[in-house]
Amino acid sequence: MGQAEEIRNILKVQDELIHKRAVWDAGPWLELDMSTPQFKALLLISEEEGIRMRELARKMGGSFSNATVLVDRLVERGLVERMAEPEDRRVVLVRVSEEGRFLIEQLVTSWRAISPSVLETLAPKELDTVHDALLILLGAAQRDRRA
């Protein structure tokens, strides 16, 4: 079996696992009271320690003024904060606040495909195997992000 076919098989198993999930907490997503562009901005901002407003506008494919309006709304909600760039205080950077990080964490973890109840059915050796496999995937994701 080739690599491409093996990848398709792994993704298929992953999809089946998600469809058979024991627990999926939709609550944080249903309570999310923001527009899609605001959410997109929040995610883009969260990828950086501080992103320039012009860079955010570029990544969003919109104007500087549109990005400013989106950031204003996120600042009002306490999800992001503005700060001056240390090298050039005229440049405004935006970063996710603690409250914003907490919200993102809630959203990310709400869709877990592997719930504690599923893991509790595994033998210790199987738990070790799952743990090792997830560490391998995490390492690959970290390498891929740096590339």
Model confidence over 27-82: pLDDT tens digits?
888 889 999 999 999 999 999 889 999 999 999 999 999 999 999 999 999 999 99
pLDDT tens figures, 93-124: 999 999 999 999 988 888 776 777 788 899 99
pLDDT reported for residue 145: 73
CATH topology for 24-112 is: Arc Repressor Mutant, subunit A (1.10.10)
Give the residue extent of every domain in the chain. Answer: 24-112, 114-147
Which residue from 58, 57, 79, 55 is spatially nearest to 67, judged by alpha carbons? 57
The whole-angstrom separation of Cα 95 and Cα 84 is 11
Q: Are 111 and 17 in contact (CB under 8 A)?
A: no
Whether the full predicted model's pTM is greater than 0.85, yes or no, is no
Binning pLDDT at 50, 70 and 90, where does residue 22 land?
low
